[in-house]
Amino acid sequence: MDIPSEVLGWSWFAAEWAIRLAAVVIVPYYRSPDAAKGWLLLFFVAPLPAVLLYFAIGRSRHPRWRRKRVKALPDVIHRAMRDADAAIKKELAELPAELTRAAHLAEAIGSLPSLGGNAVELEPRYEAAVLRLIADIDKAEHHVHLLYYIFADDEIGGAVLEALVRATDRGVTCRLLIDAFGSRRFRKGIEKRLKGTSVEMRIVLPFRFWNRATRADLRNHRKIVVIDGRIGWVGSQNLIKAESEPGLVNRELVARVTGPCVAMLQTTYIGDWFLETLERIDGPELFPRPLPHCGETVTQLLPSGPDYPDGRIDDVFTALIHGARERVAIVTPYFIPNEALLTALRTAALRGVDTHLIVSTRTDNKLVDLAERSYFAGLIDAGVQVDLFKPKFLHAKHLSIDDRIGLIGSSNVDMRSFELNSEISLIVYSREFTLRLRQIEEEYLATSDRLDRERWNARPRLQQVVENIARLISPLL
């Protein structure tokens, strides 16, 4: 029997509105206001496609099997470092009163304390950073732990793989984690290079759609190196040639860390390895005792992501900006802020803080380019100095506050890093470090274009419209 077209039309109409009303009830739960607004807009414009997309990537939570493993993490890490607990407690840092709030917030989110006795070196030179990493691997005696979002089998990644093979040939245990999405183009090449060697490689969150299904959009975006429990590397740089795309040459910044903070980097790696393999890495060599005392710098490691439900990295960014008294500088390749962070930047500038946002003139994502530019006018009007870096793709990710606090890591200033990606950040409570970070920021500014209100507001009206449309969906990027 044929169903009248009028009945079909009303049924379709009723189904769409049922979906919209259900979305109003369901979507805001466990989601930031910005992300909720983006999803609700999509549901009201295209209800049925929104349902399909929502079931695929709509919740910033890992599947149940993964959450079950996360619950076991505290025990896994405690067992691994049980003999080092006393040594770590001796390095707990006492910070000045004006820094303790930030440290407490970071500890509440990542469960890791601030530790003294560290040395931190910044390396802004792309090839030099890789050569120094290889030199550290060539001196390894017990273990090398690497985790990278993008690990290529090109001349950069290949040179590191060769160093790992050399290390295993002399009896060093080498473990490598690479993200299934970020390194998808290079996985087969890496597996071919490592075939027949003793390097242990695992894929982070490989794509599955049935047993132990995974989410394609929840990724491990960290860049971590731990060597013999004594040397750590953290920052923005992946292991891929600088010109990762034709005409797009990356500018990066990484930090080489020695001292007790490396133990915290080690715990993060142990946790990530367990989540992928269920293998509990253990042994006294993981945490040298006594912990090496390499300097006077106080540092704090901050892991964040869907596995850390008590807070997000943007909470720390926002709190640090609100606490600034003289100067704030954010360097990020992708700027898609939430309202809280945007307000923090505007109010910092309005209360007289020298406030800088440094982004790249060109990135590898056109839609993000459009969306982030929609935020510039409001920032400029509030007095934020917005600078577009010209020579290369500025992929570095760091934040400096006054001359007291510097933060460097893998996290972008966007909703993906805030809600979806596993990230790692190093907070450094040091005047010397922060001044060095500011020196690097000044180098960026020397080759950047400062946006002024009149010139920016004079850009074509059509361009402004397209940017504002991109902004509407920016929480979903």
Whether 161 is covered by a domain: the verdict is yes
The domain boundary, picked from 38, 57, 76, lies at 57
Statement to judge: residues 53 and 80 lie in one domain: no
Nearest C-alpha neighbor of 179 from the set 143, 159, 207, 154: 207
Whether 20 is covered by a domain: the verdict is yes
Residue 417 burial by Cβ neighbours in a 10 Å radius (0-12, 13-18, 19+) = buried
Statement to judge: residues 223 and 362 lie in one domain: no
Statement to judge: residues 322 and 294 lie in one domain: no
Statement to judge: residues 87 and 50 lie in one domain: no
Whether 308 is covered by a domain: the verdict is no
Nearest C-alpha neighbor of 219 from the set 182, 269, 171, 170: 182
Statement to judge: residues 350 and 293 lie in one domain: no
Residue found under tokens 């379709």: 12
Residue 167 host element (H or E): helix 155-169
Statement to judge: residues 287 and 330 lie in one domain: no
The domain boundary, picked from 266, 299, 332, lies at 299
The CATH number for 365's domain is: 3.30.870.10
Q: How far apart are CA 144 and CA 199, in angstroms?
A: 10
Q: How far apart are CA 265 and CA 284, in angstroms?
A: 16
Whether 357 is covered by a domain: the verdict is yes
Q: Which domain holds residue 96?
A: 64-102+113-299
Q: What's the predicted TM-score (pTM) here?
A: 0.90
Whether 307 is covered by a domain: the verdict is no
Statement to judge: residues 37 and 129 lie in one domain: no
Statement to judge: residues 328 and 293 lie in one domain: no
Whether 294 is covered by a domain: the verdict is yes
AA identity, residue 99:
L
Whether 234 is covered by a domain: the verdict is yes
| Contact by Cβ (8 Å): 253, 408 | yes
Statement to judge: residues 264 and 356 lie in one domain: no
First to last CA, the chain: 45
User: Helical H runs in 400-452?
Assistant: 415, 431-446
Q: How far apart are CA 32 and CA 38, in angstroms?
A: 10
Residues in the chain with pLDDT values less than 50: none
Statement to judge: residues 376 and 403 lie in one domain: yes
| Contact by Cβ (8 Å): 423, 313 | yes
Statement to judge: residues 46 and 78 lie in one domain: no
Whether 306 is covered by a domain: the verdict is no
Backbone angles phi, psi at 350, to 5 degrees: -70, -25
Residue 269 is predicted with a pLDDT of 97
Q: Specify the number of domains making up the chain.
A: 3
The domain boundary, picked from 253, 274, 299, lies at 299
| Contact by Cβ (8 Å): 31, 43 | no
Statement to judge: residues 35 and 122 lie in one domain: no
